[in-house]
């Protein structure tokens, strides 16, 4: 740990000047980017990264590292400079290629592109929210795995954030919950520079931020001079002493400090300073080196590799002792951190599916979802559930659910009415490692959560978003609550797998596949109302994995048309198939619980399910356009392109044409 004296060393100024120079020069070379924030937060970064952050540049994956989140991600050059200077695998060549195609230094920090970047930030407000999830993960895992004398899970989550993050509504959702849960190892630095893109913020942001965070139950250090290392150091020390409250260190800073003519203006926020201003800045900050040249003594002072290796080695030794005393816990810990499912997983899943199939229940798919959790969760202690204040409607609790509180760990988060916050916190839980999150709300309110769903898909992380009350079938709550376009538009998010299962068996399979999917999130969509059980043989049950399959073949094998349906409309399609058969028209019913998975199948499989030349009608209680790619221009869609109404579900299904008569007529019309 540093002493206050360290800050007197002449090199201290050079350390911060190195950040300022790299930010100015890289942005200038790219002719785009954001130099202001890195220049304004250089001292805070220096004190935190050199004197406090426990990390190992040689192994960015070391489990017990502190997490560092740059929530004001537009200042990406700050984290790139820090990673480069402290010795991560981010050579100067990559700094020179800032914002260029396939570089490790993209415009905003992108998870998976750059060693040491813990999450993708850029959409303001989500970084701090991911960080709340990471700090929550640390708390939960510490409660589960630590033993007296063996705090093998023991790290901080540090966050840089700016005015923008604090203006975003999601920061309220996340920081309010973080206060309630008492996430003491979350330490945030507010870059209070009074500037955002449009200029000085007093016309649009005048909150008393310290009071706001005190009201959330945080430990607040107000009025820290963000350019005074001694003040920053004292604030961090104070924050570390408080372990039952998250900390907000409010740092007064000057955006673009070091630029003699542009500091403290919005012109330094997001544009290159220009050669002349950079030339003027160099003597101003006492930096006389050409662009992209760092003297060896500055590199040496920043280099965190030896210290990091030592920290990890000490932790490894502690873990080895832990493994001797608690062998079962150590094996479980290693499995969890590797993101592997338990060895008996596949057998367990198969037996749960077989039991569900044998029961042949006609129940709401949200109830089938709860039964699936009840069946699968006992072998999956990493499953961490929750709902945005709709546990009784979403049916997300199971008999082993244990609510997390300020004082205890557990496996269930009462997120409160915070859909966006919940979803971005879940991303943080997933990114941290060791946990598989699921969280729920009504499908309609996926709209509130949507950008976090997109971020999960972009980051390719495992996450399970559960949405119930999936159509007009929810009935009397009316059009504000009845999704119409949501299922379709969620399917359009690249790398998102959207499941809308039709009965208990498909519901259980969709849960299993979502849990197994390591390279992206899944959305599970369930009904409020009962859905009829469908009979399938073992081979057909296996085909659910393909996302779409022949659920019921045309009576005489001569397929005249194909009905494609999902979820609650499968029952309707099956009844229509019968009615058509009575009129001598033989149709196949294809169940398509996950169009995204179906689209990834081999062309020959897809052809076997939807042979060319056979006309098709899709049936889904949602927008019709989505289905055109499956039915073509000579097919038809039984769907709805208007909002719903407030009425009992059966009245609405009839009114909007989800009847056997209408499906039969639609098939006849296209033949």
Ligand X SMILES: Cc1ncc(C[n+]2csc(CCOP(=O)(O)OP(=O)(O)O)c2C)c(N)n1
Contact residues for ligand X (CB under 6 A)?
A: 36-37, 72, 74-75, 122-124, 162-165, 168, 191, 193, 195-197, 255, 269
Q: 3-class DSSP state for residue 464?
A: strand
Pairing of strands 561-565, 587-591: parallel
Could you give the angle at the alpha carbon of 569 between the alpha carbons of 510 and 566, nearest 5°?
35
Contact flag: residue 193 with Mg ion (CB under 5 A): yes
Q: Which listed residue (312, 382, 419, 620) is catalytic? A: 419
* C-alpha pair distances (Å), 74 with each of 85, 99, 120, 496, 604: 19, 12, 11, 25, 46
Q: Which is nearer to ligand X, 271 or 323 (CB)?
A: 271
Catalytic annotation present for 419? yes
Q: Which is nearer to Mg ion, 115 or 199 (CB)?
A: 199
Half-sphere exposure of 78 (CA within 13 A, CB side): 31
Q: What is the CA radius of gyration of the chain?
A: 28
| Partner interacting with residue 127 (select from ligand X, Mg ion, none; CB below 5-8 Å by kind) | none
Pairing of strands 587-591, 549-552: antiparallel
Task: Catalogue the long-range contacts made by 638-644 (C-beta closer than 8 Å, 24 or more residues apart).
Answer: 638/569, 638/662, 638/663, 638/666, 640/472, 640/484, 641/484, 642/484, 643/479, 643/482, 643/484, 644/472, 644/478, 644/479, 644/482, 644/484
Q: 3-class DSSP state for residue 190?
A: strand
Contact 175, 127 (CB under 8 A): no
Q: How far is the CB of 77 from ligand X (least distance, A)?
A: 11
Interface size with Mg ion, residues (CB under 5 A): 5
Q: How far is the CB of 252 from ligand X (least distance, A)?
A: 12
Contact flag: residue 76 with Mg ion (CB under 5 A): no
Q: Which is nearer to Mg ion, 77 or 195 (CB)?
A: 195
Q: Which is nearer to ligand X, 450 or 615 (CB)?
A: 450
Q: How far is the CB of 255 from ligand X (least distance, A)?
A: 5
Q: Which is nearer to ligand X, 34 or 245 (CB)?
A: 34
Q: How far apart are alpha carbons 628 and 521 in whole angstroms?
A: 25
| Partner interacting with residue 37 (select from ligand X, Mg ion, none; CB below 5-8 Å by kind) | ligand X
Q: Which is nearer to ligand X, 395 or 424 (CB)?
A: 424
Half-sphere exposure of 61 (CA within 13 A, CB side): 6
Among 162, 229, 421, 483, the residue binding Mg ion under the rule CB under 5 A is 162
CA 341, 342, 343, 349 torsion: positive or negative?
A: negative
* C-alpha pair distances (Å), 231 with each of 18, 87, 237, 241: 21, 27, 10, 16
Q: How far is the CB of 267 from ligand X (least distance, A)?
A: 11
Candidates 28-36, 162-170, 243-251, 539-547; binding stretch for Mg ion (CB under 5 A)? 162-170
CA 198, 201, 207, 208 torsion: positive or negative?
A: positive
Contact 153, 119 (CB under 8 A): no
Contact 255, 264 (CB under 8 A): yes
Contact flag: residue 124 with Mg ion (CB under 5 A): no
Q: How far is the CB of 40 from Mg ion (least distance, A)?
A: 8
Q: Which is nearer to Mg ion, 222 or 385 (CB)?
A: 222
| Partner interacting with residue 116 (select from ligand X, Mg ion, none; CB below 5-8 Å by kind) | none
Q: How far apart are alpha carbons 416 and 180 in whole angstroms?
A: 11
Angle of the 365-376 helix axis to the 345-359 helix axis, nearest 10: 140
Q: Which is nearer to ligand X, 165 or 391 (CB)?
A: 165
| Partner interacting with residue 649 (select from ligand X, Mg ion, none; CB below 5-8 Å by kind) | none
| Partner interacting with residue 235 (select from Mg ion, ligand X, none; CB below 5-8 Å by kind) | none
Residue partners of 372: CB distance under 8 A and separation at least 6: 352, 356, 507, 508, 511, 512
Q: Which is nearer to ligand X, 122 or 635 (CB)?
A: 122
Q: Which residues pair with 618 in a beta bridge?
A: 564, 637
Q: Which is nearer to ligand X, 67 or 266 (CB)?
A: 266
Q: How far apart are alpha carbons 185 and 431 in whole angstroms?
A: 17
| Binding pattern for the stretch 195-224 against Mg ion, x by CB under 5 A and - elsewhere | xx----------------------------
Residue partners of 296: CB distance under 8 A and separation at least 6: none
Q: Which is nearer to ligand X, 269 or 348 (CB)?
A: 269
Q: How far is the CB of 108 from ligand X (least distance, A)?
A: 8
Residue partners of 208: CB distance under 8 A and separation at least 6: none
Half-sphere exposure of 448 (CA within 13 A, CB side): 19
Name the residue number minimizing CB distance to Mg ion.
163
| Partner interacting with residue 466 (select from Mg ion, ligand X, none; CB below 5-8 Å by kind) | none
Contact 451, 123 (CB under 8 A): yes
Contact 58, 107 (CB under 8 A): no
Contact 520, 462 (CB under 8 A): yes
Phi, psi of 192 (to 5 degrees): -85, 80
Q: How far is the CB of 605 from ligand X (least distance, A)?
A: 40
Q: How far is the CB of 428 from ligand X (least distance, A)?
A: 17
Q: How far is the CB of 72 from ligand X (least distance, A)?
A: 5
Identify the H or E element spanning 348.
Answer: helix 345-359
Q: How far is the CB of 425 from Mg ion (least distance, A)?
A: 24
| Partner interacting with residue 452 (select from ligand X, Mg ion, none; CB below 5-8 Å by kind) | none
Contact flag: residue 163 with Mg ion (CB under 5 A): yes
Residue partners of 159: CB distance under 8 A and separation at least 6: 68, 69, 71, 127, 128, 131, 186, 187, 188, 189
Contact 196, 163 (CB under 8 A): yes
Q: How far is the CB of 191 from Mg ion (least distance, A)?
A: 6
Q: Annotated active-site positions, please?
A: 419
Residues forming the site for Mg ion (CB under 5 A): 162-163, 193, 195-196
């Amino acid at each position: 740990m540093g002493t206050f004296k360290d800050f007197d060393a002449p090199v201290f100024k050079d350390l911060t000047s190195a950040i300022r120079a790299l930010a100015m020069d890289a942005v200038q070379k790219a002719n785009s980017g954001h130099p202001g924030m890195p220049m304004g937060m250089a001292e805070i970064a220096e004190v935190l990264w050199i004197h406090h952050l426990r990390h190992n540049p040689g192994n960015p994956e070391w489990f017990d590292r502190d997490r560092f989140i740059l929530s004001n991600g537009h200042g990406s050059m700050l984290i790139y400079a820090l990673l480069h200077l402290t010795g991560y695998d981010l050579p100067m060549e990559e700094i020179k290629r800032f914002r260029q195609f396939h570089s490790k230094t993209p415009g905003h920090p992108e998870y998976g592109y750059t060693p040491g970047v813990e999450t993708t930030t850029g959409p303001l407000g989500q970084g701090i929210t991911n960080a709340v999830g990471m700090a929550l993960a640390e708390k939960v895992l510490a409660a589960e795995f630590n033993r007296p004398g063996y705090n093998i899970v023991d790290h901080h989550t540090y966050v840089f954030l700016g005015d923008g993050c604090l203006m975003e509504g999601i920061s309220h959702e996340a920081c309010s919950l973080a206060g309630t849960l008492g996430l003491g190892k979350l330490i945030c630095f507010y870059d209070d520079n009074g500037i955002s893109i449009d200029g000085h913020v007093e016309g649009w942001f005048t909150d008393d931020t310290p009071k706001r965070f005190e009201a959330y139950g945080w430990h607040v250090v107000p009025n820290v001079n963000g350019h005074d290392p001694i003040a920053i150091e004292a604030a961090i020390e104070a924050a570390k002493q408080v372990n039952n409250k998250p900390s907000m260190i409010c740092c007064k800073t000057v955006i673009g400090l070091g630029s003699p003519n542009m500091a403290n203006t919005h012109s330094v926020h997001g544009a290159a300073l220009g050669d002349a201003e950079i030339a003027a800045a160099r003597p101003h900050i006492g930096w006389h080196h050409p662009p992209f040249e760092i003297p060896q003594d500055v590199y040496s002072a920043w280099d965190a590799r030896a210290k990091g290796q030592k920290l990890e080695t000490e932790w490894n030794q502690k873990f080895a002792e832990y493994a001797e005393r608690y062998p079962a816990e150590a094996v479980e810990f290693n499995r969890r951190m590797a993101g592997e499912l338990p060895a008996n997983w596949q057998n367990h899943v198969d037996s749960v599916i077989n039991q569900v199939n044998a029961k042949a229940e006609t129940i709401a798919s949200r109830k089938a979802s709860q039964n699936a959790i009840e069946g699968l969760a006992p072998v999956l202690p990493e499953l961490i559930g929750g709902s945005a204040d709709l546990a009784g409607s979403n049916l997300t609790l199971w008999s082993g659910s244990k609510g997390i509180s300020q004082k205890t760990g557990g496996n269930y988060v009462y997120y409160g009415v915070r859909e966006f916050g919940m979803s971005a916190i879940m991303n943080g839980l997933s990114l941290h490692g060791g946990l598989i999150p699921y969280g729920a709300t009504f499908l309609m309110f996926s709209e509130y959560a949507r950008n976090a769903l997109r971020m999960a898909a972009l980051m390719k992380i495992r996450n399970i978003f559960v949405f119930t009350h999936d159509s007009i079938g929810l009935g009397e709550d009316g059009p504000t609550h009845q999704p119409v376009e949501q299922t379709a538009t969620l399917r359009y998010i690249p790398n998102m797998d959207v499941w809308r299962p039709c009965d208990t068996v498909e519901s259980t399979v969709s849960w299993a596949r979502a849990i197994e999917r390591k390279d992206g999130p899944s959305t599970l969509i369930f009904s409020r109302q009962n859905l009829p059980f469908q009979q399938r043989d073992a081979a057909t049950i296996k085909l659910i994995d393909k996302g779409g399959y022949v659920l019921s073949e045309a009576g005489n094998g001569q397929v005249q048309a194909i009905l494609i349906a999902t979820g609650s409309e499968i029952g309707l399609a099956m009844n229509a198939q019968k009615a058509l058969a009575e009129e001598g028209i033989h149709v196949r019913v294809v169940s398509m619980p996950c169009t995204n998975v179906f689209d990834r199948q081999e062309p020959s499989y897809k052809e076997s399910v939807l042979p060319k030349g056979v006309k098709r009608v899709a049936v889904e209680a949602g927008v019709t356009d989505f289905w055109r790619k499956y039915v073509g221009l000579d097919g038809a869609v039984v769907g709805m392109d208007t909002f719903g109404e407030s009425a009992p579900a059966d009245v609405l299904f009839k009114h909007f044409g989800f009847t056997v008569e209408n499906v039969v007529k639609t098939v006849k019309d296209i033949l």
